[in-house]
Amino acid sequence: MNKRKPLKIIVDTTYLLPIFGISVEGLTNDDLLKLRELVIEGKVKLFCVSVIWSELLGKVYREASKYKVDKEVIALAIKSLFNPRFYKWINPGPKIHTISI
């Protein structure tokens, strides 16, 4: 049986904002559901670079009132981002480019 390695993808804030209830133009719920399905099936592995936290939280807090996101939702979203089944957090370094190759 030939099992293929999962496709490694580095995701940025665009793909993380919807977790907080903040929509992103050009990214549909169907897109996100398909990505989730691919992760569950083991076809895709998602990586996040730790340095995006400042950008992510800045955008979340800037958009929170516009999208009526409360603190409980933000706390739950942050917790979900540390679910190792879906996301692997990595630190930037000289070999980071090898993840997406």
Q: The pTM is what?
A: 0.85
Domain chopping of the chain, boundaries: 7-91
Report d(CA 42, CA 21) in Å as an integer.
25
CATH homologous superfamily of 7-91 equals: 5'-nuclease (3.40.50.1010)
**pLDDT attached to residue 3:** 77
Q: Count of CB atoms within 10 A of residue 55's CB?
A: 12
Greater pLDDT, 93 or 97: 93
Is 80's pLDDT higher than 80?
yes
**pLDDT attached to residue 101:** 57
As beta bridge partners, residue 87 has 46
Question: How much is the average pLDDT of 56-75?
Answer: 92
Note whether 45 and 7 are within 8 A (CB). yes
Report d(CA 16, CA 81) in Å as an integer.
8
In this prediction, residue 16 has a pLDDT band, given cuts at 50, 70 and 90, of: very high
Q: Count of CB atoms within 10 A of residue 39's CB?
A: 17
Is 99's pLDDT higher than 80?
no
